[in-house]
Amino acid sequence: MATPDYDIKSTCTFLWKIENVNYLWLKTSRKIESPVFVVDELENTEWVMHLYPRGCSTADKIGFYLHRKDDGSGTDDIDVYFELAFLSKCGDNLCSSRSVKLTFSKGSSWGFDAFASFTVLSSKQYLPFNILTARCKIWRYDRKVAVGKCFLAGTRVAVQRRSFYWEIENFNTIGCNDTKHLAIRSIRNEILVKFDLNLTSEGRIEIGIHVFDPNKKYLFFKTYITDYKGCSRNIGAKEFVWDDCEKAGTLTLTLSKSELERCVTRKADRINLMGDVLTLYCECIFSTRIVSETIETIDFGIDSLNITIPAVLNVDELPTNGVVKVGGLPTDDAFSLREDLGSLCSQDVLSDMKLRTNTTTIPVHTQILGARSSVFKAMFSNDMKEKSQGCVDVTDVDDETVRRMLLYMYTDKLEDLPWENVCQLHVAADKYDVASLRSKCTAILQAKLSPTNACQILSLADMHQDKALKKTVQEYIIVQRKTIFSSEEWKSLMDTNLRLAAETMHLNWNKD
């Protein structure tokens, strides 16, 4: 058998960034699948990567496979060889494995059952900011057609974090028959999680955890105590993964009751036990579902709009989400603020104004809306009818867009949305002058540009005088002119806005 030439420059490269991979709820033999990438030069076949983060057959090894979908192409078998790799934040191979010539039929998979040790998922080399970057390179075995293409894909796991202090009163006199309770409740006062602290007959401290929220599939629970210097000490951490079974589990603290009591008097590791009250600092990290999947294609040798093909997505530039450490304890003040303000959003609690859409009425708070929007600020500061009536009519924006705009105004959160929904949100942000939301919508639309939507986004930018977005779209259209100028979308633009089409064509003429 001939040795594959891995030095061939013409390859199909697939980069897959998985955010919050450590918080996947998958058990052994369960996989996460990448977005689908379609390779024209491989007979229009469809491919995905399969990752088994907790092992395909054994829990201590990560499984990694290339899978050909049971696609609609007419090709039954195709011969390729490939390389799978995990990358560092600088794009270096941290571990990789290569195949010999393999035949992929429809629906078949080839890969490595023990690609890497499970311990790599706890390494900052592999997971800066808890992002794993996996790469697959594919070569045609027959070399008949050059495969010059790169796919950049992303998958993000939804994560919710909650932290709280739990004061255990009468700790010195607690016995085996005593139970201390604490509950996390929703804004509707429903119990989401219940914690029960018990003392075993051996004097060990156990915390029973019951999760009632059906959406939560994974929990990483940590608890700390604080010494007399204000420094924290981890006394228990455990992860729980649930399928559809009862969501319950138990964490046993690393220190027994007698050991904790001795720490009160021992100066070297003295803890605070004020007034017979033990205070635990607890952190919960929940994951619920995959909230977004994205993919884009870059053809080698084709001019693009300031796009370079990175070895790996640059995580050094990612924000740290405002996480700092105080007294050794990780905190996220911005997250807490967003959670607290988000609990007010759409809830009739302390509200002093209403937004009336076509189908519903939403309670809001003038102080928050006025701080985020100059239009609302003018309404509520002056003697306008909206102020006197206590209601603002928002009938030219659909209900879902209003809800998304309010969510952003209260929490600074912006959901991952299709470009069409981002356009609607851009219109609302422009009308009510929510400047930061408008800027974020502009950035998202720039990132989501494609030959099929460029004309619609150009019309939006022109109508709402978004100069930055308009300039970007026009430059993109010039780069993709062969595809776009012959499209039905461009013909429609010439019918509806001949001035804008002529202006863009003039830019193309000047460029040439």
Q: What angle do CA 506, 509, 512 make, to 5 degrees?
A: 155
Give dist(CA 450, CA 484) in Å, integer: 9
* pTM of the predicted structure, to 2 decimals: 0.55
* pLDDT, mean of each 10-residue run, the chain (512 residues): 56 88 84 88 89 83 92 81 87 86 92 85 70 90 73 85 84 86 78 92 93 86 78 87 83 89 58 71 84 62 38 39 39 52 61 82 86 88 72 85 88 83 93 92 90 93 92 90 90 92 82 56
Rounded to 10 deg, the angle between the 488-496 and 454-463 helix axes is: 20
CB atoms within 10 A of CB 107: 10
Strand partners, 168: 278
For 343, the enclosing helix (H) or strand (E) is: none
Give dist(CA 208, CA 194) in Å, integer: 8
Give dist(CA 288, CA 60) in Å, integer: 24
Radius of gyration of the chain (CA): 28
**Cα distances (angstroms) measured from residue 241 to each of 26, 120, 159, 212, 244:** 7, 19, 14, 14, 10
Q: What angle do CA 103, 296, 473 make, to 5 degrees?
A: 150
Nearest of 125, 59, 140, 121 to residue 92 by alpha carbon? 125
CB 106 within 8 A of CB 76: yes
Amino acid at 80: V
Dihedral (Cα; 228, 231, 236, 239), 10-degree rounding: 150
Q: What angle do CA 78, 80, 85 make, to 5 degrees?
A: 135
Contacts of 59 (CB under 8 A, 6+ apart): 28, 118
For 504, the enclosing helix (H) or strand (E) is: helix 498-511
Q: What is the DSSP letter of 469?
A: H
Cα 58 to chain center, whole Å?
28
CB 440 within 8 A of CB 372: no
CB 134 within 8 A of CB 128: no
Nearest of 75, 53, 77, 73 to residue 64 by alpha carbon? 53
Give dist(CA 408, CA 413) in Å, integer: 5
Burial class, 129, CB count within 10 angstroms (exposed 0-12 / middle 13-18 / buried 19+): middle
CB 422 within 8 A of CB 439: no
Going 393 to 397 to 402 to 405, the CA torsion angle's sign is negative
Dihedral (Cα; 456, 459, 464, 468), 10-degree rounding: 90
Q: What per-residue confidence (pLDDT) applies to 121?
A: 72
Burial class, 258, CB count within 10 angstroms (exposed 0-12 / middle 13-18 / buried 19+): exposed
Strand partners, 210: 194, 248
Q: What per-residue confidence (pLDDT) applies to 165?
A: 85
Give dist(CA 509, CA 316) in Å, integer: 40
Q: What per-residue confidence (pLDDT) applies to 321?
A: 41
Rounded to 10 deg, the angle between the 419-431 and 435-447 helix axes is: 160
Residue with tokens 């209260």: 410
Q: What per-residue confidence (pLDDT) applies to 5?
A: 59
Amino acid at 453: N
> What burial letters (b/e) apply to 464-475, b meaning 16+ CB within 10 Å?
bebeebbebbbb
Cα 424 to chain center, whole Å?
22
